Structure 1
Amino acid sequence: MTRTGSALRAGRTAPLHGRTVVVTGAARGVGAALVRELSRRGARPALLGHEGAELEAVAASLPTPALAHEADITDDAALERAAAVVRERLGPPYAVVANAGVAEGGPFAGSDPADWRRVVDVNLTGSAATARTFLPDLFGTKGYYLQVASLASLAAAPMMSAYCASKAGAESFAHSLRAEVAHRGVDVGIGYLNWIDTAMIRDADRYPVMRELRAHLPRPARRTLTPEQAAARLATAVEQRSAAVYLPRWLRLAQAARAALPPAVLWVTRRELGRLEAEAPLRHTGLLGEGGAADRRAARPRP
């Protein structure tokens, strides 16, 4: 077989082989699992996020060339610097996965305004900033942008107002961007993930109200999946340039029934929140998990 024929065959069987893929929030959890899966499939991952030492450790463990670069995705200048390094070291990105996210929980009325804004800044504004920074590359490579969303994009839950608002906004942003860039040869996908066993979710479960509310979801909706399961589905979405990916697959049904979800949530929580509040005051969580702590340490000073 000729070298050209071998390359064509490799492109069909390993569509990410040798291609640069940027993943934000790659130091741990779904992001770290995703870059491992992308590398296993032949991609050259660029890992962006806080926690430089953790990013470097993940990058060093990969079987393909990779780059770790510490950056706050809400800092436009930092993102531009990161993009320049990615282009120089790995080449222009073929795909970008906006995975970075933080969460906080508790009653909205007494929430910390700074934490509330930070969740929206990272999950929504930071995702948009990531897209804006790398779109020139994706136009050149006719590439793919994947927005990691959530079940919270489809069904807002109490005690998670910032997270739900930010993920619903990120979903709408991705739909708008898809329509705007399709004629330029760029595809945009949305990844809808349910509960994933990450530090964020484990931290949330330390708070009785967060744990109890999840326990009252229907059995399929409260099942926790592994980061590796999420990574496998997201990596396949990048390979196939999917418009939407659901984990678990039944979330597609929630998409179809989303108009009926708010009344169902209200019916359950009206009773359960009253009971829980009578038992003990509802506490705020602050930014959840090790990723939330890292974001709090690294975030630029806010006025």
Structure 2
Amino acid sequence: MVSNAGIMGSGSVESATPAMMDRMVAVNLTGTYRVAHFALPYLMMTRGHFLSVCSTAAVAHSPLQGQYCASKAGVWALIDCLRQEVAHRGVDVGALCPSFVVPEPDEIRPVDKVMESLWGEPNLGGKQSVSVGEVADVALWMMRKRAREAVAPRKMSYVIKWPRLIQKMVERAYPPQAIEAAVTASRQLATQGRVVSTDLGHEDDGNPAGRPAA
């Protein structure tokens, strides 16, 4: 069983809406919980394997992504707890943590102006990217090996091996002026009633915060 549904977005804790936080947790964390909850009877009967698609953001937390990072960190903790609960029943539980996933050619992904202010580009795909196919390959490898955790691309496995070190590196990566520029961009969107989210609408589609995009 693979739990893959998820959304992401960006915004400062100061200006991102509570609706955005609620929705992020509902889909990313509670959604994973629900899939596991209803799948467990079958998995215990078949001694199966539950694989949750998490994120490197579960252990590497960047500014302006508090909602997303918190929801994925919750998934990481949930999977750790579940693994201990069902191991003696012959059920294996794994967490797959992709880095930045490159959009498919036919996928329309809005430019995230908040993170562009922080990163200096719309996304970090050119530096730490992974294709959808690569993520699928790692997922298949995990299911064959019944592995407990992996990163896609696998060459970035150091992210989950040394999370404290990685977090220190993340915190040193962004100068104060870049963070302030991103916080300002988030605040400006909030005053317009807009958010940056793959689920709630984005900054240039005119959807007010909290209303799902069509």
Distance 1:197 1:289 in 2: 18
Q: 1:168 aligns with which of 66, 69, 73?
A: 73
CA deviation map 1:109-140 (0-9, x unaligned):
11111121110111111101110001000001
Higher relative contact order (CA 8 A, sep 6+): 2
Q: 2:133 aligns with which of 228, 231, 236?
A: 228
SS in 2 for 1:124: helix
1:181 corresponds to 2:181: no
Q: 2:180 aligns with which of 274, 290, 294?
A: 274
1:288 corresponds to 2:198: yes
Map 1:212-227; keep pairs closer than 5 Å: 212-215=117-120, 222-227=127-132
Aligned residues of 1:149 and 1:192 also touching (Cα < 8 A)? yes
Q: CA deviation at 1:279?
A: 8.3
Q: Please, which runs of 5 or more residues in structure 1 have no aligned partner? A: 1-95, 299-303
Distance 1:276 1:119 in 2: 20
CA deviation map 1:221-248 (0-9, x unaligned):
8332211111111122112211112111
Give the alignment's TM-score, normalised by structure 2.
Answer: 0.79
Q: 1:211 to 1:275 in 2, by over 3 A?
A: closer
Give the aligned residue type for 1:274. Answer: E
Distance 1:280 1:160 in 2: 11
Q: 1:215 to 1:261 in 2, by over 3 A?
A: farther
SS in 2 for 1:190: strand
- Show the counterpart of 1:73: none
1:262 corresponds to 2:167: yes
Distance 1:215 1:223 in 2: 14
Aligned residues of 2:64 and 2:183 also touching (Cα < 8 A)? no
Give the alignment's TM-score, normalised by structure 1.
Answer: 0.58
Give the aligned residue type for 1:230. Answer: V
Distance 2:130 2:117 in 1: 18
Q: Please, which runs of 5 or more residues in structure 2 have no aligned partner? A: none
Aligned residues of 2:200 and 2:212 also touching (Cα < 8 A)? no
Distance 2:200 2:15 in 1: 23
Q: 1:212 to 1:225 in 2, by over 3 A?
A: farther
Of stretches 128-137 and 278-287 in structure 1, the one that deviates more from structure 2 is 278-287
Higher helix share: 1
CA deviation map 1:242-289 (0-9, x unaligned):
111211123221222211233333333334212455789653634316
1:239 corresponds to 2:155: no
Q: 1:215 to 1:241 in 2, by over 3 A?
A: farther
- Show the counterpart of 2:3: 98
- Show the counterpart of 1:138: 43
Give the aligned residue type for 1:296. Answer: P
Aligned residues of 1:203 and 1:289 also touching (Cα < 8 A)? no
Distance 2:152 2:108 in 1: 19
Aligned residues between the structures: 198
Distance 2:129 2:50 in 1: 26
Q: 2:23 aligns with which of 118, 122, 134?
A: 118
Q: 2:102 aligns with which of 197, 220, 239?
A: 197
Distance 1:280 1:180 in 2: 40
Aligned residues of 1:207 and 1:285 also touching (Cα < 8 A)? no
SS in 2 for 1:100: coil
SS in 2 for 1:203: coil
